[in-house]
Amino acid sequence: MQDTTIIELRNRLRQFAAERDWDQFHSPKNLAMALGAEAGELLEQFQWLTEPESSHPDPKRRQAIADELADILIYLIRLADKLDIDPLEAAFAKIEKNAEKYPADRVRGSMKKYNEYD
């Protein structure tokens, strides 16, 4: 599985949706809303855990977290596909933008936002 590409995943998701005639429901708006809902379900898995518990969840919770991460990735890939956005290209471009906003020599070890620096 490690060698599976984003394109292969995108194609499998296209096929999955087509086989079920779900493309009609997969508008960017609906996919973005579903993505937000799944992110909320991921947050729910961490609610009330201590820091150590969140770093080392029990096997049952770990599987639930993996399922929510998968749902998020699925909706993210579908949304990117519908909008013809390459998610890897967008991620690498965003890392470059963040590197400019947060130069390592100025922000190392700090959680301040870029606009909070002198």
Residue 48 is assigned to a structural domain of this protein: yes
State pTM to two decimals: 0.90
User: Which CATH number covers residue 73?
Assistant: 1.10.287.1080
Tell whether 24 and 63 lie within a shared domain: yes
Q: How many residues does the chain have?
A: 118
% of the chain exceeding 90 in pLDDT: 87
Label residues 71-81 b or e (16+ Cβ within 10 Å = b). bbbbbbbbbbb
Q: 69: exposed, middle or buried (C-beta count within 10 Å: 0-12, 13-18, 19+)?
A: middle
Alpha-carbon distance of 65 to 55, in angstroms, equals 12
Q: pLDDT per residue over 45-102, tens digit each? A: 999 999 999 999 999 999 999 999 999 999 999 999 999 999 999 999 999 999 999 9
Determine the structural domain holding residue 103 and report its residue range. 89-118
Contact 23, 17 (CB under 8 A): yes
Tell whether 78 and 101 lie within a shared domain: no
